[in-house]
Amino acid sequence: MLLHGKLHWSVIPPSDDVCQPQGFYCHRYVLASNEQSAAEKAVDRVQSNLSRDGSWLNDGGAILSLEAEEIRAAPMHRLLKPDDRGHTFYEQD
């Protein structure tokens, strides 16, 4: 599943060297009985991951909106691999 996250910043960057991305894309593989359940599980997993690793999100520095853009059945072997927690961030829409 391809997820798209949009970030709405409530703080200004501390300097010109600091990037505040506008959003990101990521893939997640989940076991679910239908597309809606898969989307909910994937969104929960990404939010949990970012909350654990991103104090800027927990501290209210940014508001995150997430949506599943592409939902497809994947081979079962994808569920056996460790979860890829990567994100591809972008700076401008």
Answer whether residue 25 is part of any domain.
yes
Residues of the domain holding 64: 2-10+20-90
For every residue of 43-71, which 3-state class applies, written as one string? HHHHHHHHHHHCHHHHCCCEEEEEEEEEC
Asked if residue 48 is part of any domain, the answer here is: yes
Tokens of 26: 């990521």
pLDDT in tens, 17-49: 888 899 999 999 999 999 999 999 999 999 888
pTM: 0.82
- 50-90 pLDDT, tens digit per residue, is 887 666 777 778 889 999 999 998 888 888 888 777 899 99
Q: Tell me if 15 is assigned to some domain.
A: no
Measured over the CA atoms of residue 12, residue 86, residue 24 and residue 66, the dihedral's sign is: negative
| Structural domain count, the chain | 1
Is 26 inside any structural domain?
yes
Dist CA 37 CA 34 (whole Å): 5
Alpha carbon dihedral 68, 70, 74, 78, in 10-degree steps, equals -50
